[in-house]
C-alpha cells in the first residue's frame, strides 16, 4: 500500500494498481502506467581556464560534455548562436551560455559558461644587451621591456640558480633567464638576456702635485698608467713635456681611452711649480717660566729635513724646545727636501710665574650660596672643595657639609701660566625641610596632614605658608574641598641663624566629585511586561556604569531600556555609578519590583478517549493561592457531576467521582480562585465540550 504522492523510482515504464476502499460496495481497482523520461544533463565543467593560443579549442571536449546523448546549442553573450570551436588567441574573460535540448517531455536546460584566457608575459624570447663594466651593481629589471617588467617572474643565472635582480658583472659574457611566475593556465614563458660586458678603463684619482722651479722637464705620461689624452682648459695638449717653471702651473686633465659604449673617465692633476714648497708657519709664543714648550712640525718630518738653531727634542708628533731663558728668544729653522730649501723663524717670550690671593676665611650655612673671588682677573679657574672638583670658572657654590671645609682654586692667566691658593670655610647645618607629598591630590572633600619629612629639629621654628597665609606649626591639618588649589611653603629657622625653605606650587588639589542620579519610567512592573526605561540625570561625570544587583549590565548609556526576568514578585536593585575624568565617583540606587498577576486559561473542549491526547479538563492558573480554589462541573440540567478544591486534580469526564462516565456533550463549569495580591475572590464561568 503506497501513499498517494511518491517519487517515481525508475526511468521508463512504471505500473501501479489503484484500489477503492469502500465498506459497502464491492472492491474496485484500476491500473495506472507512468512513463518517465530522463532529464538532460549539464556539462561536468562550467568554468574554463585556458591559455591564449592560435589553435581553436572544442567547448564540448573542454567541458566534458557528451554530445551523443543530448542536443546542445552554444550562444555568445549577445545571444548569437556560435560554434563549439573557440579561438583563445586573445586573453581576458569570456562569458557564454548554452541550451541543452531534452528531446523528450523533460524541460530544456540553460546555463552559463565562464572562460578565463590567460596570456604569457615573455613569449619565450631572447634579448642581447651590451654593458660597460664600471664596477657598479647592475639592476637586471631595467634591462627588459617595460611592458613585461610589471609581470611576476624570477631570475636565474646560467646554472639555473634563482638570484636577486641586482648583480655585479664579472665575466665578459653573462646570461640570465627571466622565468614567468603566477600563471595558472599557461606553461610559464621565459626571456633570456645575454649580456656582453665591456671593460671600463679608469683614468685614476685626482691629484695635487708641487714641484720646485729647476732645470729639466716633467713628462705628464709618467703620472698615469693607462693610455689616453691630456687637456688643459679643455684644449688638447700636443707636447707633454713641461718645463719646471711657475708659469706652467695649471690644472691638467687626463681622459683615458675607453670602449665606445662606456662613458669617458677623467682625472684632474693640479700641478704647481713654485720657487719653494708649502709649509705651516709657526706662530710666536708667549709662555711662563718652567712651562714646557711644544710646537707642531711645519712640514712632514718624514719627507723633509728640519734643522733648529736651539736644542730641540722630538716628542710624538711635536717638537719640544728646551733651555730657553726669560725674555724674548728668536728661534729659526731650516726645511729642505730633494728640490727646495726654506728658512723661517718665530719669537718665544718667557715670563715669570704669578701668585693669586683668595678671599679670607668665612662662616656659612649649609645650602647657602657663597660667592668666591681672587685678587686678579684670569682667563680660567678650576675650583675644589676638600680635594673634590666642583667646577670650572665657578664663583658661586652651595655648601652641604656641617664641618670645616677647605676651598682651593687653580688659576691660569692670559699667557697660560697656572698657580693655586686655598682658604678655609666653616659650615653650620641649615634646617632640613622637605614637604611630605603623598595623597595631596584627591577626590574632595578630604583632609591632608602637612608635615616635614625630616621631622622636627630642636631649637628650630617652622612656618607653613598656605596660599600666602602663614601658620607657625611643625604639623598642620588642611581641609580640602572641591575645586580647592593650594600653594604650600615650609620654612624653618634654627639657633645657628640658618634658614631653609621649600615651596611646592599648586601641590594640593581637591578634585570635583560627580553627582549620580537617574530616573526610571516604572518602579513597579508586571511580570507580563517587565520592561522599564532608565534616564541618566547625573552631573559632572565622564563615564557611567549601570548595575543590577551588583552586576555590571551597561556602560556609558544615558538612556537605555531593560527587560527583567518574568519571575513572580521579585525585586531588583538598580544602581548608577557616575565617574569623573579624575576617577572620582558617586553611586545612586533605586529598587525595581516585578509583581505577579492572576492568569487563568480554561480549555473549551477535551477528548477522554484513551488516545493519550487532551484526555482531561484542567484549568491553567498563575498568581493564585491554593486555599480558596474550587472547580465545579454541571450537566445541562444543573446537577453537579464534579467538584474539587485541589488545584492539581483534573476532571477526567467521570460523574460523581467515578460512578459512571459522562457522555459526549456540552457542560458548564464554575471556577473560583484568589489572587496572591488581592483580597477578593475571582469567579469564572463557562462551557466545556466533552468529545468521546
**Structural domains of the chain sorted by starting position, each given as residue range(s) with its CATH number in brackets:** 125-199 (2.60.40), 207-274 (2.60.40.10), 285-351 (2.60.40.10), 362-428 (2.60.40.10), 441-511 (2.60.40.10), 518-595 (2.60.40.10), 599-690 (2.60.40.1220)
d(CA 299, CA 484): 76
| pLDDT value at residue 567 | 67
| Rg of the chain on CA atoms, in Å | 57
Residue 145 CA to residue 149 CA, distance in Å, equals: 6
| In contact, 39 and 61? CB cutoff 8 Å | no
Look at residue 216 in the predicted model and tell me its pLDDT: 74
Per-residue cell: 636: 445541562
CB 603 within 8 A of CB 687: no
Helix H or strand E segment including 149: helix 146-149
Q: Is the pLDDT of residue 487 over 80?
A: yes
Spatial separation of the C-alpha atoms in residues 103 and 39, rounded to whole Å: 10
Q: Which of 195-204, 408-417, 567-576 has the lowest mean pLDDT?
A: 408-417
Using alpha carbons, select from 181, 187, 227 the residue that is nearest to residue 203. 227
Which residues, including other chains, have CB under 8 Å from residue 679's CB and lie 6 or more apart? none
Q: What is the mean pLDDT of residues 32-58?
A: 76
Reading the block at residue 357, the C-alpha cell is 690671593
Half-sphere exposure of 142 toward its Cβ, with a 13 Å CA cutoff? 6
DSSP secondary structure letter of residue 60: H
State the average pLDDT over residues 3-30: 74
529 or 617, greater pLDDT = 617
Looking at mean pLDDT, say which of 243-247, 419-423, 480-484 comes out highest. 480-484
Length of the chain: 692
Distance of alpha carbon 415 from alpha carbon 422, whole angstroms: 22
Q: How many CB atoms lie within 10 A of CB 413?
A: 18
* Nearest alpha carbon to residue 541 among 574, 586, 485: 586
Which pLDDT belongs to residue 550?
A: 92
CA 77 to chain CA centroid, nearest Å: 49
Nearest to 384 by CA among 406, 415, 362: 406
Q: Does 504 or 680 have the greater pLDDT score?
A: 504
pLDDT digits (tens, 9 = 90+) for 509-566: 999 888 999 999 888 777 777 889 999 999 989 999 999 999 999 988 899 999 888 7
Cell numbers at residue 651, please? 476532571
Give the CA dihedral 435, 440, 441, 447, nearest 10 degrees.
Answer: -150
CA–CA dist 622, 597 (Å, integer): 7
Distance CA 596, CA 461 (A): 74
Q: What is the pLDDT of residue 330?
A: 92
pLDDT digit string, tens, across residues 236-293: 988 788 887 888 889 999 988 877 778 888 899 998 887 777 788 999 988 888 788 8
Give CA–CA dist 668/636, Å, rounded: 7
Buried b / exposed e over 11-21, threshold 16 CB at 10 Å, is eeeeeeeeeee
Confidence at residue 614, expressed as pLDDT on a 0 to 100 scale:
93
Return mean pLDDT, the chain. 83
Average of pLDDT values for 631-654? 93
Which residue in the block uniquely carries the three cell numbers 492568569?
599
Cell representation of residue 39: 532529464
At residue 66, the pLDDT reads 65
Q: Would you give the distance in Å from CA 146 to the centre of its chain?
A: 36
Whole-number percent of the chain with pLDDT over 90: 23
CA-angle at 37, arms to 36 and 43, nearest 5°: 140
pTM over 0.75: no
Per-position b or e across 361-378, b if 16+ CB within 10 A of its CB: eeebbbbbebebebeeeb
Distance CA 19, CA 22 (A): 10
Residue 213 pLDDT: 73
Over 70: is that where the pLDDT of 484 sits? yes
- Rounded Cα gap, residues 650 and 665, in angstroms: 18
Place of cell 656659612: 364
Q: Which residues contact 268 (CB under 8 A, 6 or more apart)?
A: 206, 207, 251, 252, 253, 254
Amino acid at each position: 500500500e503506497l501513499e498517494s504522492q511518491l517519487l517515481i523510482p525508475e526511468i521508463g515504464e512504471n505500473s501501479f494498481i489503484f484500489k477503492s476502499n469502500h465498506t459497502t460496495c464491492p472492491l474496485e481497482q484500476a491500473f495506472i502506467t507512468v512513463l518517465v523520461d530522463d532529464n538532460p544533463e549539464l556539462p561536468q565543467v562550467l568554468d574554463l581556464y585556458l591559455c591564449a593560443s592560435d589553435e581553436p579549442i572544442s567547448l564540448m571536449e573542454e567541458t566534458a560534455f557528451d554530445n551523443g546523448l543530448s542536443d546542445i546549442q552554444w550562444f555568445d553573450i549577445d545571444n548569437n548562436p556560435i560554434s563549439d570551436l573557440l579561438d583563445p588567441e586573445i586573453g581576458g574573460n569570456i562569458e557564454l551560455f548554452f541550451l541543452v535540448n531534452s528531446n523528450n517531455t523533460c524541460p530544456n536546460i540553460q546555463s552559463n559558461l565562464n572562460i578565463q584566457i590567460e596570456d604569457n608575459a615573455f613569449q619565450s624570447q631572447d634579448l642581447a644587451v651590451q654593458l660597460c663594466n664600471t664596477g657598479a651593481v647592475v639592476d637586471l629589471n631595467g634591462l627588459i621591456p617595460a611592458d613585461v617588467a610589471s609581470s611576476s617572474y624570477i631570475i636565474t643565472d646560467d646554472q639555473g640558480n634563482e638570484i636577486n635582480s641586482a648583480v655585479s658583472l664579472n665575466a665578459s659574457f653573462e646570461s640570465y633567464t627571466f622565468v614567468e611566475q603566477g600563471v595558472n593556465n599557461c606553461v610559464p614563458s621565459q626571456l633570456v638576456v645575454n649580456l656582453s660586458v665591456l671593460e671600463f678603463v679608469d683614468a685614476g684619482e685626482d691629484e695635487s702635485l708641487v714641484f720646485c722651479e729647476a732645470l729639466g722637464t716633467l713628462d705628464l705620461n709618467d703620472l698615469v698608467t693607462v693610455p689616453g689624452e691630456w687637456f688643459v682648459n679643455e684644449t688638447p695638449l700636443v707636447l707633454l713635456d713641461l718645463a719646471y717653471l711657475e708659469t706652467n702651473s695649471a690644472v691638467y686633465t687626463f681622459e683615458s681611452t675607453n670602449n665606445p659604449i662606456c662613458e669617458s673617465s677623467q682625472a684632474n692633476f693640479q700641478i704647481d711649480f713654485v720657487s719653494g714648497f708649502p709649509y705651516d708657519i709657526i706662530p710666536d709664543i708667549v709662555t711662563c717660566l718652567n712651562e714646557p714648550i711644544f710646537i707642531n712640525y711645519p712640514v712632514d718630518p718624514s719627507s723633509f729635513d728640519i734643522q733648529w738653531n736651539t736644542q730641540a727634542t722630538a716628542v710624538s708628533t711635536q717638537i719640544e724646545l728646551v733651555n730657553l731663558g726669560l725674555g724674548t728668544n728668536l728661534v729659526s729653522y731650516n726645511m729642505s727636501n730633494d728640490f727646495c730649501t726654506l728658512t723661517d723663524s718665530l719669537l718665544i717670550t718667557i715670563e715669570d710665574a704669578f701668585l693669586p690671593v683668595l678671599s679670607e676665611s668665612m662662616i656659612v650655612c649649609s645650602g647657602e650660596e657663597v660667592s668666591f673671588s681672587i685678587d686678579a682677573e684670569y682667563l680660567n679657574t678650576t675650583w675644589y672643595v676638600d680635594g673634590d672638583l666642583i667646577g670650572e670658572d665657578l664663583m658661586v657654590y652651595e655648601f652641604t657639609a656641617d664641618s670645616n671645609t677647605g676651598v682651593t682654586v687653580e688659576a691660569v692667566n692670559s699667557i697660560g701660566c697656572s698657580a693655586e691658593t686655598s682658604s678655609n670655610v666653616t659650615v653650620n647645618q641649615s634646617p632640613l625641610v622637605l614637604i611630605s607629598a603623598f595623597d595631596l591630590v584627591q577626590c574632595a572633600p578630604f583632609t591632608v596632614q602637612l608635615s616635614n619629612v625630616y621631622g622636627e629639629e630642636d631649637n628650630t621654628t617652622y612656618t607653613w605658608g598656605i596660599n600666602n597665609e602663614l601658620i607657625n606649626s611643625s604639623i598642620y591639618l588642611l581641609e580640602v574641598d572641591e575645586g580647592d588649589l593650594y600653594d604650600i611653603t615650609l620654612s624653618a629657622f634654627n639657633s645657628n641663624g640658618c634658614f631653609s625653605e621649600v615651596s611646592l606650587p599648586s601641590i594640593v588639589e581637591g578634585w570635583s566629585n560627580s553627582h549620580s542620579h537617574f530616573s526610571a519610567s516604572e518602579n513597579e512592573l508586571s511580570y507580563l511586561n517587565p520592561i522599564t526605561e532608565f534616564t541618566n540625570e547625573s552631573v559632572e561625570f565622564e563615564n557611567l556604569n549601570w548595575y543590577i544587583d551588583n552586576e555590571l549590565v551597561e556602560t556609558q548609556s544615558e538612556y537605555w531600556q531593560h527587560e527583567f526576568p518574568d519571575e513572580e514578585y521579585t525585586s531588583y536593585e538598580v544602581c548608577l555609578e557616575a565617574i569623573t575624568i579624575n576617577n572620582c565617583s558617586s553611586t545612586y540606587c533605586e529598587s525595581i519590583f516585578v509583581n505577579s498577576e492572576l492568569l487563568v486559561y480554561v480549555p473549551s473542549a477535551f477528548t477522554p478517549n484513551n488516545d493519550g491526547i487532551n484526555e482531561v479538563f484542567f484549568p491553567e492558573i498563575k498568581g493564585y493561592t491554593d486555599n480558596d480554589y474550587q472547580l465545579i462541573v454541571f450537566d445541562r440540567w444543573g446537577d453537579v457531576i464534579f467538584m474539587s478544591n485541589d488545584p492539581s486534580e483534573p476532571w477526567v469526564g467521570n460523574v460523581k467521582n467515578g460512578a459512571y462516565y459522562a457522555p459526549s456533550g456540552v457542560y458548564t463549569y464554575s471556577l473560583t480562585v484568589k489572587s496572591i495580591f488581592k483580597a477578593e475572590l475571582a469567579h469564572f464561568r463557562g462551557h466545556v465540550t466533552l468529545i468521546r
